[in-house]
């Protein structure tokens, strides 16, 4: 028969929250709190090597590569992209974060169009700097542990791992969608050797909707979840290093000179009062909303380099801006 003292201790344990009795839960909760304090939302955790669905996403990447849908983006075939554990020895978990870049401003009618993700500061730097602060905090809690920051320039299946961590699901346009925040977010990950408590993977809610497929002017979304880069306006305006754009791209370009938001603009999940970001780092540079064809064609390299200082759009070289701007005239009136 147990003593009164033993029964008293048992009663006290029932009053202690479960997260306080499980170190994994406690650290995981605190880590996600740190991420939210850095301005990230949504946030979630996944455990390596991932669920069976993560393995299906890896197989889908293999089929996508086999179909030559990556055009000349050879880095997409890096073997490490298919095995996150190769990016950090001993990695057991990852923190996935989203950063909302949707702002209240709109591009001006009659001007050239630029994808929203590039309106503010370079998101690679923003996400990396904030995740590094979280990593340093984690190191204070677990000095023996190790961590690594990954943004989309790292060989990681970032959207698949974000889906695995419960941030949202990969839509038919290949962007990650959150049921209350839409798809206007960039992603980041913090790999760690710590064993964290994982969240449930997100469930797909695209259903029978085909709005993004139907809206693409070049039929780049060949089938649900399969985007052919060789047909994609974003690929050609940002990655294509040829002196001239293909005729099929020029005829469909409209006013887009840097990326393309058509498939996101049309997505019903982006028409549900998505939150607006007031983050100073993500507010647009005015010239990006007022860029004319004449400016894009006549600015010299020094002007472009100055305008693009600290921008993710520096990936588009000055001569490419001029090439893209010239191509917008194919089926556009002189004033766009």
d(CA 100, CA 105): 14
CB atoms under 10 Å from CB of 283, counted, come to 16
236 CB contacts (<8 Å, ≥6 apart)? Answer: 245, 246, 249
d(CA 258, CA 114): 5
Active-site hit among 152, 219, 228, 279? 152
Beta bridge partners of 185: 100
d(CA 175, CA 198): 22
Beta bridge partners of 190: 95, 149
d(CA 204, CA 103): 26
Peptide bond before 257: cis, by omega within 30 degrees of 0?
A: no
- The DSSP line for 175-234 is -EEBTTTBT-EEEEEEEESS---PPPPP----TT--HHHHH-TT--EEETTEE-GGG-HH
d(CA 76, CA 23): 37
152 is catalytic: yes
**Which residue's structure tokens are 């002189």?**
334
Look at residues 296, 267, 277 and name the one whose alpha carbon lies nearest to residue 123: 277
Beta bridge partners of 45: 95
d(CA 49, CA 173): 25
Q: What is the per-residue burial (b if ≥16 Cβ within 10 Å, else e) of 37-46?
A: ebbbbbbbbb
d(CA 42, CA 231): 31
Catalytic residues: 152
């Amino acid at each position: 028969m147990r003593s009164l003292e033993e029964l008293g201790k048992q009663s006290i344990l029932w009053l202690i929250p479960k997260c306080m009795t499980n170190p994994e839960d406690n650290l995981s909760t605190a880590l996600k709190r740190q991420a939210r304090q850095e301005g990230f939302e949504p946030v979630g955790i996944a455990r390596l090597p991932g669920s069976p669905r993560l393995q299906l996403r890896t197989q889908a990447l293999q089929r996508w590569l086999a179909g030559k849908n990556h055009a000349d983006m050879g880095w997409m075939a890096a073997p490490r992209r298919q095995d996150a554990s190769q990016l950090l020895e001993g990695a057991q978990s990852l923190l996935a974060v989203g950063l909302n870049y949707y702002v209240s401003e709109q591009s001006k009618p009659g001007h050239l169009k630029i994808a929203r993700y590039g309106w503010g500061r370079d998101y690679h730097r923003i996400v990396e700097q904030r995740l590094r602060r979280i990593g340093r905090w984690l190191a204070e809690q677990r000095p023996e542990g190790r961590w690594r920051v990954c943004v989309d320039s790292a060989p990681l299946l970032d959207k698949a791992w974000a889906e695995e961590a419960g941030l949202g699901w990969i839509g038919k346009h290949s962007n990650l969608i959150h049921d209350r925040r839409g798809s206007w977010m960039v992603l980041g990950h913090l790999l760690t050797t710590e064993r964290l408590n994982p969240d449930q993977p997100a469930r797909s809610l695209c259903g029978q909707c085909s709005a993004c497929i139907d809206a693409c002017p070049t039929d780049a979304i060949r089938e649900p979840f399969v985007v052919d880069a060789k047909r994609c306006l974003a690929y050609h305006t940002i990655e294509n290093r040829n002196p001239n754009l293909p005729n099929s791209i020029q005829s469909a370009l409209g006013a887009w000179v840097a990326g393309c938001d058509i498939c996101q603009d049309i997505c019903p999940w982006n028409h549900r009062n998505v939150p607006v970001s007031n983050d100073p780092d993500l507010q647009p540079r005015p010239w990006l909303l007022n860029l004319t064809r004449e400016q894009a064609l006549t600015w010299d390299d020094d002007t472009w380099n100055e305008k693009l200082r600290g921008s993710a759009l520096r990936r588009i070289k000055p001569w490419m801006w001029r090439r893209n701007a010239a191509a917008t005239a194919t089926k556009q009136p002189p004033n766009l």
